Amino acid sequence: MRKAISKILDLSLVGLACASMAAASHAAPTRPGNLLVTDLQANTLTEYTTSGSVVQRFSIPAPPSATEHLRDVVQGTDGRIHMFNGTFMPWMSTLDPATGGISNLTAKGWSTGNIGSYGSIATTGSHVFVMDTDTAGGEAQGIVRFDLSDGSFERFASGNSFAYLTLGLDGKLYAGGSVLTNGVVVFDPMTMTSTGYFELQDKRDIRGMAVDSAGNVYTADWSGRIQKRNAGGSVIASLSTGQNLQDIDIDSEGNIVVGSRFGTVYLTDSSLTQMTSFQIGSRFGPSVHVAFTSSVPEPATSAMGAVGMLAVAALARGRQRKHHPNAA
């Protein structure tokens, strides 16, 4: 597919944002095995221990609009933390926790619906991926990939408004919840081409997804269930929490963290046989997104698979041109 060069949106705004600093109780590198939790209402990022003790907290500047809220979070292998920061005029905000410094990137047509569970983000190498939904004034959709090395971005799978995405521990990028696909599309994150598709069994309003190294799928849904599925989408195990769930993450040891609508953070493991939790704020606390401080491994570039390609070939079409900030 043809690549072309164009100009990134609103460089003056991006440049101004790059000079900002997060207000922090203190700044230090994160500790392996801890949790990252974003508070949508307060626009804060907090590092917690798995028992719920605060390690450090950062106030993250939001884009200039009343509807712009901090959403999902992920940490890269270099220690930098990336956040989906906003709604209709979002920034991809990158925090260096050791210094408190923040840089921001944006993309033309990028937005998400004003729903607390929306705003998934994933990273591998020098790339950060964000979901892009069709909203009034921000009609472009699909997945946006930012390149941290030069600030450029590319959009792919542009015929879909996905509700969530994740980079699996198997090195593949998964995106689901689209009304067009009614299932999960699998992508090679390096080539941005689709490599498969599967349906989720018992897909009751899923809001978040994580995938382990074997390709098993873990979902968090609005009815309060954490579910484990095999690579084909069939349910293996289920655990109920009693809250609206909206985000989920898994680490390389099989530990799972789940964020909820009202501020409860749940912890379990890949067996889904037991669960602990701690509360952010009051009983009806803030809407939270979660991640482990440990980051996912670098994926190997995979060859495009034949299975499922007929069903998803159209999703890779319309991959849009790469935008460079310094291009004419």
Cα–Cα dist 20/170, whole Å: 35
Indicate the domain borders of the chain: 5-323
Q: Which of 22-31, 37-46, 247-256 has the lowest mean pLDDT?
A: 22-31
> pLDDT-derived band of residue 157, with 50, 70 and 90 as boundaries?
very high
Residue 57 predicted with pLDDT over 50: yes
Q: Determine the straight-line distance between the first and last CA of the chain, rounded to whole angstroms.
A: 21
Q: Which residue has 């701690």 as its token pair?
A: 278
Whether 118 shows a pLDDT value over 80: the answer reads yes
Q: Is it the case that residue 126 has pLDDT exceeding 80?
A: yes
Rounded to two decimals, what is the model's pTM? 0.86
- What pLDDT does residue 308 have? 39
> Please, are residues 134 and 161 in contact by the beta-carbon 8 Å criterion?
yes
CA distance linking residue 196 with residue 305, whole number of Å? 7
Please determine, for residue 154, whether its predicted confidence score (pLDDT) is greater than 50: yes
Query: Given this model, what pLDDT does residue 295 score?
Result: 55
The structure tokens listed for 35 are 């949790």
The per-residue pLDDT for 326 is 30
> Which two structure tokens, joined as six digits, stand for 296?
């996912």
CATH 2.120.10.80 fits 5-323, yes or no: yes
Place of tokens 């849904």: 221
Q: Provide the pLDDT for residue 21.
A: 79
The per-residue pLDDT for 90 is 96
Q: Answer whether residue 69 shows pLDDT above 60.
A: yes
In the chain, the largest separation of any two C-alpha atoms, in whole Å, equals 56
